[in-house]
Structure 1
């Protein structure tokens, strides 16, 4: 019997990932006498430079627009809370779920998805750019903290969940799937696959699936919240979205005279609750069908086990479609996106043309006859920037830096 959300901790389910049976780390290290492998991974992620930078990386609103809008860091914390709640309810390893939630956005560029789109275009001659692959690159190569290895030397299960939390990346023949179908996997994933087999043709653990669905839930909720509070969305508009209209009617019936900030919060928190409870119920149903006796059964299930029901999946897509049309494509947002697009593109081009404008540690060891290696080094440097640092660097190199807003 799976206890309802909020009850005390229970023993891990047989299909949960067992930290005592971890496949280990690429570079062998002594085990900790006080922490499981996934607790150590979580701590290494929290103490990383890339994690700290999330404080000044944004998604929809750029850094100057207000202290109350989400950043990548606050979003990450919210994803972590939801992932842990799901893991607790489903008797998974909470530490691994939390670890994956904390790491999932490390590879994002400055300026949210606009930055990623520009970086993908800049790197098109060399295979493009993918923030998930960049997260893997950060934790396996770019973090330079430890004396004996590059990266954070995370556990196999953490790397597996990080790289394929949305499902298998290749089929049984090794052909790329999903958005990579007909192409090739991103450079960082291909490079790491030569060093370590992450079994890219299987589903990830239930903990990774919990972190992935938690990201969807948190993303929808906080963009709705930020959009309403910024005045780019109105409560009247959400009456056109059946899932949200139902919640709004429920809130208004119970609290007919509620002031707007509390009304918004009630809508958002009830949205999260409904989605979380749906995931738990659907996951319990799928687990009962599969009767998994090990984490390997989850990997070989052929479909996600921790996920929305069909009805909620449709409702969630409706929320996303509403946000895309009314928030992400809002002219006020698009105007800023056009400005930051130019900032990222011009920074990339400037550093490729004049690598000496980058700090010495970033240009070290790259020759003038290595265009792909130089482009990748520039990509790593620019992608790691915060919004604020990108603007400051552009202002240092150019005399036409936009005043965002």
Structure 2
């Protein structure tokens, strides 16, 4: 018996009947020989972590554009926090932690530069629209490894696709990631907004705090404990009504006070104008797209290739590309 088979034997013995054991995976788009050590979901974790798209997350906006300071979240730190919250819930419910972690680590691979501001402008410019959760699937299926994709399992790709809206994921592990994503971003965005002087502690709705807690730590602890208690023995991931209502109130508060606050979002218009200018430039000059995107241009469309290229940019790389093409370079006499 290989180490992988021993792990799968233990999964069958200890996982919840509602969990997705790796031996029951629907498989990959392209069949592969099994690893003697790692389960399919463990291999997916490694493929995501070693991908270029994952590394770029460290230079992509979470909420605050190009923040000055070392402690604001980026898309990378958000992803890691989601993974930790999701694994804690999955472990408590005897779900498959490896599948949960793979979905969590891959859920935002398709996010644009400048966060949701970038997503909105690409949605306007790209024929057929744009959504980061669909782009995340496209990254792992088409864009990584020089167009070969990462060849992830069906369950991981389904969890990535369903992590934000629309139908629930087919696995409880995917449903855990959707909830963990909301728990993470609402609470760390509050913490970053407090650090940035956008919010003050007394601004947070009292009714939500009385249910969830008055600190970052207390809120996450309440939300995680509640998800475990409400979902134990259930075929779906749930929250108790009081906690769900308090979390929704906190989310509404954040949209009103932070996500649309000019003090926090005043620069987003500039970022969107910049991405639009780049999109239109590469539409007119597709030969300047990198070689990796020329096959997409030929097989799909120029717009698709341009959208994929811009969506994959980090914040500083987008600024550099704009500067190179639209800002006159200095000239010095020697």
TM-score relative to the length of structure 1: 0.74
Partner of 1:129: 130
Q: Does 1:377 align with 2:325?
A: no
Does the 8 A contact of 2:212 with 2:243 survive in 1?
no
Shift of the 245–237 alpha-carbon distance from structure 1 to 2, 3 Å rule, reads farther
- What CA distance in whole angstroms lies between the structure 2 residues aligned with 1:228 and 1:82? 21
Contact 1:118 1:341 in 2 (8 A): yes
4+ long deviations beyond 4 Å: 166-169, 245-248
The one-character-per-residue Cα deviations of 1:92-125 (angstroms, maximum 9, x if unpaired) are 00000011000010110000000000000011xx
1:239-318 pair list within 5 angstroms = 240-244=205-209, 267-284=215-232, 287=234, 298=235, 305-318=236-249
Q: Considering only aligned residues, what root-mean-square deviation do their CA atoms show, in Å?
A: 2.2
1:196 paired residue number: none
Equivalent in the alignment of 1:208: 174
Contact 1:168 1:203 (C-alpha < 8 Å) held by counterparts:
no
| Map of 1:362 onto structure 2 | 293
Quote the residue 1:217 is aligned against: 183
Partner of 1:153: 151
Note the C-alpha offset of 1:63.
Answer: 2.7
Question: 1-side partners of 2:217 and 2:166: how far apart?
Answer: 32
Distance 1:319 1:167, change over 3 A: closer
Deviation of 1:364 after TM superposition, in Å, equals 4.8
1:172-204 C-alpha deviation (Å, 9 max, x unpaired) = xxxxxxxxxxxxxxxxxxxxxxxxxxxxxx751
Secondary structure of 1:281 counterpart: helix
Larger mean CA deviation between 209-218 and 357-366 belongs to: 357-366
Report the Cα offset of residue 66 of structure 1.
Answer: 2.0
| Superposition deviation, residue 309 in structure 1 | 1.8
Whether contact under 8 Å (2:296, 2:304) holds in the other structure is no
The answer as to 2:55 corresponding to 1:52 is yes
Q: CA deviation at 1:129?
A: 0.2
Q: Is the 8 A contact 2:133 2:163 kept in 1?
A: no
Shift of 1:363: 3.2
Shift of 1:166: 5.2
- 2:315 corresponds to: 387
**Alpha carbons 2:133, 2:164 under 8 Å: kept:** no
Q: Write the distance in 1 (CA, Å) between the matches of 2:295 and 2:28.
A: 28
The answer to whether the 8 Å contact 1:241/1:318 transfers is no
Range 379-388 or range 276-285, more displaced:
276-285
The 1:14–1:366 alpha-carbon spacing in structure 2 relative to 1, beyond 3 Å, is: closer
Higher deviation after alignment, 377-386 or 354-363:
354-363
Whether the 8 Å CA contact 1:167–1:203 is kept in 2: the answer is no
- Secondary structure at 2:94's aligned position in 1? coil
Unmatched segments (≥5 aa) in structure 1: 1-8, 170-201, 252-266, 288-297, 299-304
Q: Deviations over 1:268-315 (max 9, x none)?
A: 011100111111111126x1xxxxxxxxxx4xxxxxx11322221211
The equivalent of 1:176 in structure 2 is none
Pick one of 20, 26, 31 that aligns with 1:28: 31
- 1:337 to partner: Cα distance: 0.9
Q: Which residue of 2 aligns with 1:301?
A: none
- Answer yes or no: is the 8 Å Cα contact 1:56–1:387 preserved in 2: yes
Contact 2:226/2:243 (8 A) holds in 1: yes
TM-score (norm 2): 0.90
What 5-or-longer segments of structure 2 have no aligned partner?
A: 1-10, 330-334
